Amino acid sequence: MAGSDSETNNSPGENSKSNNDTNPISETEISIGNISRKVQDSLSIAKKHKFWETQPVGQYKDLGDSSLPEGPIEPASPLEEVKQEPYNLPSLYEWSTCDIGSEATCTEVYNLLTNNYVEDDENMFRFNYSKEFLRWSLHPPGYFKNWHIGVRVKATKKLVAFITGVPARIRVRDEIVNMAEINFLCVHKKLRSKRLAPVMIKEVTRRVHLENIWQAAYTAGVVLPTPIATCQYWHRSLNPKKLIDVGFSRLGARMTMSRTIKLYKLPELTITPGFRKMELRDVPAVTRLLREYLSQFVVAPDFNENEVEHLLLPTENVIDSFVVESPESHDITDFCSFYTLPSSILGNPNYSTLKAAYSYYNISTRTPLLQLMNDALIVAKQNDYDVFNALDVMHNESFLKDLKFGPGDGQLHYYLYNYRLRQALKPSELGLVLL
């Protein structure tokens, strides 16, 4: 779903095969081609991103400069120096703090996002975050209501734009940094020319600074200055007939529909002894497993038990989490989870919604990760999901091909605000999934 900058258009479940032997190109030509394309890209990006050139983010001109220190790009300011008044909006609009706990406001936000948020490149699918999902993702322990920011038309009070932040502790190497995770930047389609987005980013930054927090993390499907990592979406068909009918994937070469359905067929029942839904009593054990597991990645969240309870305890149609409890010792040895993010199917007479599961955090200590994730696919299929999506972060790459995931055409770029890493990370060095 994330906007794509990739040049290939692999449909889910299909791998594009390059035909190397018919057109041998020397490595020199490839590398020169790549370099010149990157230079062109970065020049056009610099032109496109006047706003980001003014912000404390990694800049293209600094790439690979080993003399620059890692860590904050600008120091924290004294709080009395932070701008106390909101930024000015165009005269027809006004700021509004959105109380997501209010049913009426949550419905307004839901409608704005459902009709105006992220679409794929062909405008066939659009994210359809549920109201339960919005409440779950925007109400973590310690959240700030005034970081949920709307823009309304003064005359009618209609909500036309939205941006959010939630607090998070994110460890970068050995440093635990208080950050804001920025999400849901959405401007009504009819107002895209009004340059509201930069003002909204500055306003959420101002409100974050007022809480003495100076760093942020965010993701985008587009390239901005400068990603700390670029990850690939992979898709596993659970309902291949529907996915092909709605244009999400294509029938493979020399494949019939019945062969395709057979290819993606999963067992009826999970196979791991002790595999069950996570319960409240599992929170301490899951927190220990998660903290231990995430300690091996360069960038990862620093979760405590309250956050694990909020984020990972199963909530219907929002988050599903499973543990493996050893039948002998009753220890919790393994964990897997996925969140529910449907997409609206645009302009299809037969289907309106694609039910998608997104891999969240998965930890294998006794059960092989491949087996654990196969069980996750089975429970997703049992619950009528159409597709299971995963990024190639953490150890996900080790199971994607074996479990018949195919690379999508969506890439997701990760960014840190006011925090420099000397060089970009591989997806496998990243232990962070942003909702």
Determine the Cα–Cα distance for residues 5 and 412; give it in Å rounded to an integer.
9
Cα 320 from chain centroid (whole Å): 17
62 in Cβ contact with 68 (< 8 Å): yes
CB atoms within 10 A of CB 117: 18
**Which is catalytic among the residues 159, 238, 416, 435?**
435
CB atoms within 10 A of CB 127: 20
- Catalytic, 435? Answer yes
Whole-number Cα distances in Å, 297 to 173, 175, 375: 8, 12, 25
Q: What are phi and psi of 354, to 5 degrees?
A: -105, 120
The two beta strands, 175-187 and 215-220, are: parallel
Give the helix/strand (H/E) hosting 41. Answer: helix 27-48
DSSP-assigned states of every residue in 65-119? -TTSPSB-SSPPPPGGGS--SPPPPPTTEEEEE--TTSHHHHHHHHHHHHHHS-B
Q: Residue holding tokens 């979760």? A: 303
Determine the Cα–Cα distance for residues 390 and 14; give it in Å rounded to an integer.
15
Helices 103-116 and 131-138, interaxial angle, to 10°? 110
**Does a cis peptide bond (omega within 30 degrees of 0) precede residue 256?**
no
Q: What are phi and psi of 243, to 5 degrees?
A: -60, -40
| Six token digits for residue 390 | 């995963």
Determine the Cα–Cα distance for residues 155 and 66; give it in Å rounded to an integer.
53
User: Of 185, 231, 149, 181, which Cα lies nearest the Cα of 51?
Assistant: 185
Determine the Cα–Cα distance for residues 155 and 347; give it in Å rounded to an integer.
32
Q: Residue holding tokens 């988050």? A: 319
Q: Tell me the catalytic residues.
A: 435
